[in-house]
Chains A and B, each alone.
Chain A
Amino acid sequence: MMNFVQAVGVVAKGKGDGIVVATMGAMFIFDRIEGADGNANGVPLVSGKAGLVLGLGVAKIKTVLKPAHAEAAKGSFAGRINSVPLMGGAAGLALGLALARPDKKVIVMDGDASLLMELGGLATVAQQAPKNLLHCVVHNGTQFTGLDNMSTPTSDFQFAEVALKCGYVHAERIADGATWAERFPLLLAMNGPVFVELMVEPVPKQTKDGFEAWELPANQYTRMGDEALALQDWLAQDAA
């Protein structure tokens, strides 16, 4: 299995001028590794293999997943919107964006628990058949990943198989970071909708007796609105 940072880092590194729609876990990682220009220049390449992200290791994951007030206040690059706090909303947002802007690639970094909440969304997406949509799901079998790691309702759900049966043009399951890095540009270039199920290790939990909860940044409750306006402006400028 790959780790969460590898799963997100490949997208951050290789998305080009595509639009990204993320759920909360992926958002925390994007916030940490993206620069103000939306590029993940700090994510190193290894052995000259483009997009192969190994530089950010598991040791850093705990801190990456903890919401950082500074990063949250900074917000996202204009090309990314996060379905936060709204579990289950990422695929719908992405579908609307993909239909509105067929000239742009739209990449969804969904979560397994989020997608299970709106599984019918796979059928909605497939029926509309946006060619420019790449739908990725982080399958780690946990909710509140890296915090309490509560199990999702089903741990062995076959997301890729279901997406394919719903009518996605292509779907596959990828379990290691190197394969994901190699496949990402090819999958992004395909006519979609394309679905990728990323098998990701759960991040070790932090809660235990005596654990003290931290307050989530205030911005986390308002940032989707700021991101929507920024993305709207970014797309309008891009179209002009």
Chain B
Amino acid sequence: MSLGEFSISASACVKALTRNQIDHVVTVPDWIQLSLHDRLNKGVESIRVINACNENQVVTVAAGLTIGGKRPLVMMQNQGLYNCFNTLRAVCLDAHIPMVFLVGQFGREFSNIGHPTSESARSMVRIAEPFLASIGVPYHLLDKEEDLMKLDQAYEQAQQQRTAVVLLVGAPMAWR
């Protein structure tokens, strides 16, 4: 199956990052977003990449950057999101430090792409949306390239509501 329209290009994503004046990307790498990682690691002017050993550190480092006046983006995969839930709770839900997450739906069957994730056979994929809904974290789906406008909205929403906002990347990003 061709991923076609569901595969967001890394170059379009980098444009969205620079348009939003993101100055740091804090991350534990995600298989779904490999092409974006590759672009960022090759060097994008004005964006510093910080690799952390686990997702808890990703969240706390991003929080420190935000308090210090920077505008970070957090990148991880769905398993990492579950791993750092307590840190997200403390930092974004209780301490109300705004943060935008790009989270890849690792493990999603290609046959499920274009269909509701509730129909996925993989728990890591299937539970992402109900998990975020249950903990009160706003989320949006990045299923097509035009959805990248949701990144702009996510920063606005995170700032206004002083919370985390998660963008779920539904399919492997394209290498272009």
Q: List chain A positions with a Cβ less than 8 A from chain B.
A: 21, 81, 83, 85-86, 88-101, 118, 120-121, 123-124, 127-128, 221-222, 224-225, 228, 231-232, 235-236, 239
Contacts and interface: CB of A to CB of B under 8 A. Distances in A.
Contacts of B75: none
Contacts of A98: 64
23 contacts: A83-B60, A85-B90, A86-B86, A88-B56, A88-B87, A91-B57, A92-B57, A92-B59, A92-B60, A95-B57, A96-B60, A96-B61, A96-B64, A96-B68, A97-B65, A97-B68, A99-B61, A99-B65, A100-B64, A118-B56, A120-B52, A123-B53, A225-B95
B24 interface: yes
B67 A232 contact: yes
Given A92-B64, A228-B97, A235-B69, 14 more contacts: A92-B59, A92-B60, A96-B60, A96-B66, A97-B65, A97-B67, A99-B24, A99-B64, A100-B70, A118-B54, A120-B53, A124-B61, A224-B91, A236-B69
Nearest to A223: B95
Contact of B67 (A88, A90, A96, A121): A96
Contacts of A128: 50
Contacts of B50: 99, 124, 128
Nearest to A88: B56
Interface string B38-78: 00000000001011111011111111111111101000000
Interface string B80-111: 00000011001100111100000000000000
A96 B63 contact: yes
Counting chain B residues whose Cβ lies within 8 A of the other chain, the interface size class is 20 to 34
A124 B52 contact: yes
Contacts of A100: 64-65, 67-70
Contacts of B72: 96
Contacts of A21: 64
B87 to A, nearest CB: 6
B57 A121 contact: yes
Contacts of B56: 88-89, 92, 118
Contacts of B59: 92
Given A92-B52, A118-B57, A120-B53, A86 B68 contact: no
Contacts of A124: 50-53, 57, 61
A225 B97 contact: yes
Contacts of B91: 86, 89, 224
A21 B67 CA distance: 12
